[in-house]
Amino acid sequence: METEVAYDLFPMARVYKDGRVERFMGTATVPPSLDEKTGVRSKDVAISSDSTVSARLYIPKAAVDSLQKLPVLVYFHGGGFIVETAWSPLYHNYLNALVAEANIIAVSVDFRRAPEHPLPAAYDDSWTALKWVASHFAGNGPEEWLNSHANLKKVFMSGDSAGGNIVHNMGIRLGEEKLNGIGFPDAIMVHPYFWGSKPLPLETTEPEKRAFAERFWLMANPTTAGCDDPLLNPANDPRLSGLGFNRVLICVAEKDTLRDRDWYYKELLSKSGWGGVVEVMEAPGEDHVFHLFNPSCDNAAKMMKKLASFMNEDK
C-alpha cells in the first residue's frame, strides 16, 4: 500500500503523511574551495556548539593576504524552507560570483529545514547566525576571517525566496532586540516569499498557482493559522514600522507569481511609518530566482552589479 502524500511540492519535493520527505532538487553538494574563476576562497564553520547551525564563509583570496577590511553579507538560501542547502552548487557558484563582484565577505547560513524541523527552526537558526557574526565586533570572535578582515560597521543581509522571507523576519526581530556591538542597517530581498489568503488586485487567481504557493507555508509551519500569518503576510504585522533596517532593496521578476506581493511589500513599508528607504528593481521577462539558474543572462548580470553597488555605497 502506498503511503499517502501530505504535501505535493513537485518538482521540488513531496512530503508523506508518515513523515518521509522526497527531495527532487537541491540535494547535490559541493565542498568549499579556492574558486579559480573568481579567486574566492571558502570554508565551512560550525556556528552553534551543538552543530545544528553551520555556514560557508567566502572571502576574496586577495583580501586574506592584506589588511583590508571588507563589508560582510549574511546570506540565507531559498528553497521554500524545505530544499537546498548552503552547500548546494547553485548557491556556492552564486556566492563565489557575488563575493568577487562586490569585494565582500559572505556568510552563507545553513539552517535546519522543514518538515523535519518546522518553523520557527529556520528563523531561530538564522538569528543564532546573526549573533555569531556580531560576536566578532571586538576582533576576538571564533572566526579569524571575520576578526581580521570584516568591517562590522558595514553588514548586510540578503536571501532569495524563503531566504528573503527570513531576511524580513530577522529585520522585525532586530527592531525589537538589538545585537550587542553591531547593527544590520541594510537588506536585500530577492523575490521574497510573502503571501496572503486573498489575492491582491493584480495577483494570480489561478487556484493551482495559489495552492502551490500556500503549500510550502503550511508544510513548513504546521502550527500556523494560515497564509495571513504575520510571518508570511507582513500586512498583518503591527511591528512592521519598527523594521530594523535603514535601506531595503527588493528584487522582483516580471513573471514571478510572487511579483505583485513583493511590490505590495514596498507599499506596506512606505505607509507603515517605517523611517527607512525602500527601492525595487524589476527584471523584465524573468521568472522566480532566474539569476540562480541562468547566471550569465543580461538581467542576472544587471542584478549582480546592482547588489554590488548597493553594498558598496558610502553612507
Q: Which of 35, 110, 237, 256 is catalytic?
A: 256
Structure-derived torsion over alpha carbons of residues 268, 288, 26, 19, reported in degrees to the nearest 10: 60
Lowest-confidence region among 2-11, 93-102, 212-221, 231-240? 2-11
Handedness of CA 222, 225, 226, 231 (dihedral sign): negative
Q: Are strands 5-9 and 150-160 parallel, antiparallel or unpaired?
A: unpaired
Domain contains 20? no
Whether residue 16 lies inside any domain: the answer is no
Give the sheet arrangement for strand 186-190, strand by strand.
34-35, 40-46, 54-60, 105-110, 70-76, 150-160, 186-190, 247-253, 277-283
* Contacting residues for 89 by C-beta, under 8 A, at least 6 apart: 28, 29, 30
Residue 27, in any domain of the structure = no
**Catalytic-residue membership of 77:** no
Report residue 298 as a C-alpha cell.
543580461
**Pairing assessment for the beta strands 186-190 and 150-160 based on DSSP bridges:** parallel
pLDDT category of residue 2 using cuts at 50, 70 and 90: low
Using the structure block, give the residue that is written with the C-alpha cell 583570496: 61
Domain-embedded: residue 7: no
The domain in which residue 130 lies consists of 33-312
Number of domains the chain is built from: 1
- The three-class DSSP label of residue 161 is coil
| pLDDT for the residue 239 | 97
Please list, residue by residue across 22-33, b when 16 or more beta carbons sit within 10 angstroms of its beta carbon and e when fewer do.
ebeebeeeeeee
- Which residue out of 92, 136, 168, 288 is catalytically annotated? 288
Q: What is the pLDDT of residue 1?
A: 45
Average pLDDT, the chain: 95
Please check whether residue 119 is in contact with residue 81, taking contact to mean a CB–CB distance below 8 angstroms.
yes
Give 90-122 pLDDT, tens digit per residue: 999 999 999 999 999 999 999 999 999 999 999
Residue 227, domain CATH? 3.40.50.1820
262 lies in a domain? yes
For residue 263, the tally of other CB atoms under 10 A from its CB is: 17
What is the pLDDT at residue 314?
Answer: 66
309 Rama class: left (phi>0) / alpha (psi -120 to 50) / beta: alpha
309 is catalytic: no
pLDDT range class, residue 49, cuts 50, 70, 90: confident
Cell numbers representing residue 265 in the block: 511589500
Active site residue 160: no
Q: Domain for residue 2, yes or no?
A: no
**pTM of the entire predicted model:** 0.97
3-state SS assignment for residue 79: coil
Which neighbouring-strand residues pair with 54?
Answer: 46, 110
Per-residue pLDDT tens digits for 15-44: 998 888 999 999 999 999 999 999 999 999
As a whole number of angstroms, the distance between CA 155 and CA 105 comes to 10
The pLDDT of 254-278, averaged and rounded, is: 97
Q: Which three cell numbers stand for residue 138?
A: 571586538
- Cell 546573526 -> residue: 130
**Contact call for residues 15 and 4 (beta carbons, < 8 A):** no
Q: Which among 161, 186, 229, 262 is annotated as catalytic? A: 161
